[in-house]
Structure 1
Amino acid sequence: MSTNFDQAAISPPDWISQAQAARLRGVSRQAISKLVRQGRLQSLVIGGHTLVSRAEVLSFRPRTPGRPKSEER
């Protein structure tokens, strides 16, 4: 999900490359790219480069794999 921002609202330390995000999380750049495409990480494109929010990368919690637990009756 790409978003347009006012230039004044963009602070370089707040936005990092997908490669930097991957290193922070210990995953591949492709995994970060997939999260961006799914809209699970906020991103913006500047000069053809996709940047992601450092805060969102650090606070991101993956979904629990598998089927959801059924409610007990």
Structure 2
Amino acid sequence: MKEFPKDLITQSEAARLRGVSPEAIADLIRRGRLDTYEVAGRLHVRRSDIQKFKAQPGGRPPKTEKK
């Protein structure tokens, strides 16, 4: 029997945790930014991986004034 990490969650749960749509999570998976685990025919991600993404600030840094 295959061993899986204990902190696996569904894509929907990951989306709720991160405050984004399930499609945004699917996009991260497609781009290879999130590792997936197939359990009972469904893809799951690690909660710890989602929390790492959540902790990172998004977007561009603010512009600095030119002198």
Is TM more than 0.5 here? yes
The residue number in structure 1 matching 2:12 is 19
- Residues matched between the structures, number: 60
The residue number in structure 2 matching 1:29 is 22
How many Å separate the matches in 2 of 1:53 and 1:31?
A: 16
The residue number in structure 1 matching 2:2 is 7
User: Unaligned regions of 5+ residues in structure 1, if any?
Assistant: 1-5, 66-73
TM normalised by structure 2 equals 0.73
TM normalised by structure 1 equals 0.67
Runs of 4+ in structure 1 deviating by more than 4 angstroms, as ranges, are: none
Shift of 1:44: 1.2
How many Å separate the matches in 2 of 1:45 and 1:7?
A: 11
User: Unaligned regions of 5+ residues in structure 2, if any?
Assistant: 61-67
How many Å separate the matches in 2 of 1:41 and 1:11?
A: 14
Question: Percentage identity across aligned positions?
Answer: 40
